[in-house]
Structure formats: C-alpha cells, structure tokens
Chains A and B, each alone.
Chain A
Amino acid sequence: MADVNRGNRPLSPHLTIYRPQLTSITSILTRITGNALLLAALLIVWWFLAAATSPEYFALADAVITSWFGDLVMFLSLWALWYHTLAGVRHLIWDNAKMLELDAATKLGWAVIVGSVLLTLLTVAVI
C-alpha cells in the first residue's frame, strides 16, 4: 500500500470543531429523524398485526399507541416524518446541483424547519 500511515493522519474538521450552523444542524436532524422513525414504524406494524389478530389484541395495541406516551411518540414522529420528507426534497433539489449557494441553502434550511412545523400542526388539525 502506498499509504502506510493509516492511524495518525490529519483529519478534516468534524462536528466537534466546526461551529454549529443552520446547514449542518438541519443536515444532522435529517439523519436523526430518519432513523428515529423506526420506533413509530414498528409501533404501526404492531398495531396492524394486532388488528389482524383479534379485537382483544387490537384493544391493547390501540391503548398503547393512544396512551399519553404513545401520543407523544406519534406526535414527535409526525414532525420527524414531515421534517425528513422536506429534507428529502431538499436533497432531490441539491442532486441537480441547484440551490447549493450558501444563502440558497440557508433559505432551504429554514423552509424545512418552518414547513415541518406547519405541516405537523396542519395534520393534527385535520386528523
């Protein structure tokens, strides 16, 4: 191997060195929301399985998912879902090498934050 120095190379600046910026925070949140959605997804699959099994089992799953803790998980997951969806749209835009300039990227970041909150409130109001 040409590169024998594998353990002690200078690394590019990372999370602990960079000052937090809107673009970095919104990017990190995309990853966190996407992976955290596993909990709600598994709860929903369980809810479907319970509904397919028996009325008694469904009563249990539905009680868990609509308890105060279930409500909290589903509400936060709803926001996470809209956030991740809008952040995904942002990536689809960036894939075309568009809106990568700092001011445009910052605008997109705010659009994702504000849009996800609005969509969450809208969904709660409609459902």
Chain B
Amino acid sequence: MHYLTDRKRVDGMGAAKSGVHHFWVMKVSSVALLGLIPLFVFTFGPMLGRPYEEVIAYFGRPFPAIVAALTIVVGFRHFKDGVQVLIEDYVHGWMQRALIIATILLSYTATAVGLFAIARIAL
C-alpha cells in the first residue's frame, strides 16, 4: 500500500463516485445556455412559418447557423445530464440504467440530426 497516495486510495470511493463532475458540467452548460437561449429564440423564432427559400437563405448565414448549431449541441448536453438526475431520483435498478442509456442515445441522435441539417442548409 505504500505505493498508493492517500488521494489515490479515496479517489472514486465516495457515494458520488465522480465527485462534483456532474454538478460542474451542468453549471458550465447552464452558463453557456444563458447566452445561447436568447440568441436562438430571437434568430430561430422569426423564421417559424416563413417561406422555404427565406428560411434556407437565413440559416445559410454564419451567425444564425452557428447559434442554432451551438444551441442544439449544448442544449441536448444539458438535457442529457439533467434528465439523468430526474431518472436517478424516481427510477431504480436496471430500469434506471436502461432509461439513462436511452436518454443519452436520444440526445446524441437529436444532436447529430440537428447538426447534419444545419450543415446541409448552411453549406
């Protein structure tokens, strides 16, 4: 045991296993979304119900396209980590793991679809 430091022996041994990592990523994504959400609401919002050509031209511009892409990436990351806590609170056992995995897969899929669509419109 002499070769292990005190830090090494307690690392990952607490109830939380990963310490404050989850708290920290939620905090970072929430701060990011604080800036992204108003930008997205006021760029995406006016485009709802507009003609096809106008929507394609608008999201062909760098700013609206990058804001939309960032909001989708960070938003679904935030969603993935947030729903995990909801599931951990109310569902237990293997069903808990299954639902968390399903949420993660759904979030990654929605992110990929959104990024693909915006890239195709913008490029």
Do B83 and A66 touch (CB < 8 A)? Answer: no
Residue B120, interface by CB 8 Å: yes
Binary contact track B46-63/A, C-beta < 8 Å → 1, others 0: 101100100110010000
Give chain A residues whose Cβ lies under 8 Å from the Cβ of B34: 85, 88-89
| Given the contacts A51-B59, A78-B41, A65 and B48 also touching, CB distance less than 8 Å | yes
Enumerate B30-47 residues with CB–CB distance to A below 8 Å.
30-31, 33-34, 37, 41-42, 44-46
Asked if A48 contacts B48 (CB within 8 A), the reply is no
Q: Does A59 contact B (CB under 8 A)?
A: yes
What CA separation (Å) do A126 and B38 show in the bound complex? 12
Among the listed A58, A65, A85, A126, which residue makes an inter-chain contact with B33, where contact means beta carbons less than 8 Å apart? A85
Contacts A/B (CB < 8 Å), 11 sampled: A31-B86, A34-B79, A38-B79, A48-B59, A48-B68, A48-B113, A58-B52, A58-B55, A85-B34, A89-B34, A127-B45
Cross-chain contact A45 with B113 (CB below 8 angstroms): yes
Q: Is A81 an interface residue (CB 8 A)?
A: yes
- In the complex, chain B residues whose CB is within 8 Å of the CB of A81: 37, 41
How many B residues face the partner with a CB closer than 8 A? 33
Most buried by A among B55, B59, B72: B55
| Chain A, 30-60, CB within 8 A of any chain B CB | 31, 34-35, 37-38, 41-42, 44-45, 47-49, 51-52, 55, 58-59
